[in-house]
Structure 1
Amino acid sequence: MSTKENAAVSQLLALLEARYAMRVLWALRDGHAQTFRLLQDSVGGITPNTLNTRIKELREAGLVSHGGDGYSLTVSGQDLLKRLSDLQAFAGKWQLGQIKKAAAPATAATAPPSLPPSSPPPSPSPSSSSPPAPSSSPTATPSSSPSAPSSTPPLDTGN
């Protein structure tokens, strides 16, 4: 881009970056003229002084005009919003991505990292549902591990 083109883009962005400027243009996008009060309601949260300032700047820039019915976009303002029309589609996709991104840490915090969320938790031992049978042999040694085989012979103590 040339220096002249950069200057034009910078100048337009400076105008559009002003507080509520894009919202004023967006409120007029449907092509229907709006009175000052209706435009203030459409933008929402804007003070009358700020709206007056934005309308003045946008009129001087040739993007908004005032007629008998109220404020509306000029041909240049319509052209600008037409070029920005993909913004709505992009915003919808972007918002879904933000929601998914915000939900991902919450999901990771509630599910164990080694198990998928649909898997049941592992049981401590295969015989956990019924109590172990008492041993009838006085020489059998109890196992210290629930997973150790029960047929382990007694240790020879050397006697």
Structure 2
Amino acid sequence: MARKTVSQPVRGSTTGRPIMVLLDLLGQRWVLRILWELRGEPLSFRELQARCGQLSPTVLNERIKKLRERDIVEHQEGAGYRLTKAGRELGEQLLGLYHWSERWWG
């Protein structure tokens, strides 16, 4: 994946800093759900769509494309979509936020 420069703005930020790029991506509808569903074994497009409930195939395609562009999700021929190494690392970080939120809200 080609690294983006810091000066490229993203939705909600003119700085384009990596954290803002990540938060923009994660803030898009269905992205966190897709990442959650891919935390285990690889899933075919249809399996992933079924696990996401009301997600349209058009939106799923768009989200998968963005996640693949950022090297978070990859397609493994014959197995389906899965998290990349970077995607699994992101999942570990998100799990930490999950645990923090449970302590904070609970």
TM-score bracket relative to the smaller structure: 0.7 to 0.9
Within a 5 Å distance, the mapping from 1:46-85 to structure 2 comes to: 46-68=55-77, 69-85=79-95
Opposite residue 52 of structure 1, the aligned amino acid is: N
Distance 2:91 2:26 in 1: 12
Are positions 1:8 and 2:18 aligned together? Answer: yes
Structure with greater contact order relative to length (CA < 8 Å, sep ≥ 6) = 2
Distance 2:54 2:96 in 1: 25
The Cα shift of 1:89 comes to 2.6
Taking structure 1 as the reference length, the TM-score comes to 0.53
In structure 2, runs of 5+ residues without a counterpart are 1-5, 7-14
Instruction: Name the % identity.
Output: 40
Distance 2:17 2:98 in 1: 26
Larger Rg: 1
More helix per residue: 1 or 2? Answer: 2
SS class of match (1:45): coil
The Cα shift of 1:6 comes to 7.3
Within a 5 Å distance, the mapping from 1:5-154 to structure 2 comes to: 7-30=17-40, 32-68=41-77, 69-93=79-103, 94=105, 97=106
Taking structure 2 as the reference length, the TM-score comes to 0.77
The Cα shift of 1:42 comes to 1.6
In structure 1, runs of 5+ residues without a counterpart are 98-159
Once superposed, what is the RMSD of the aligned Cα atoms?
1.8
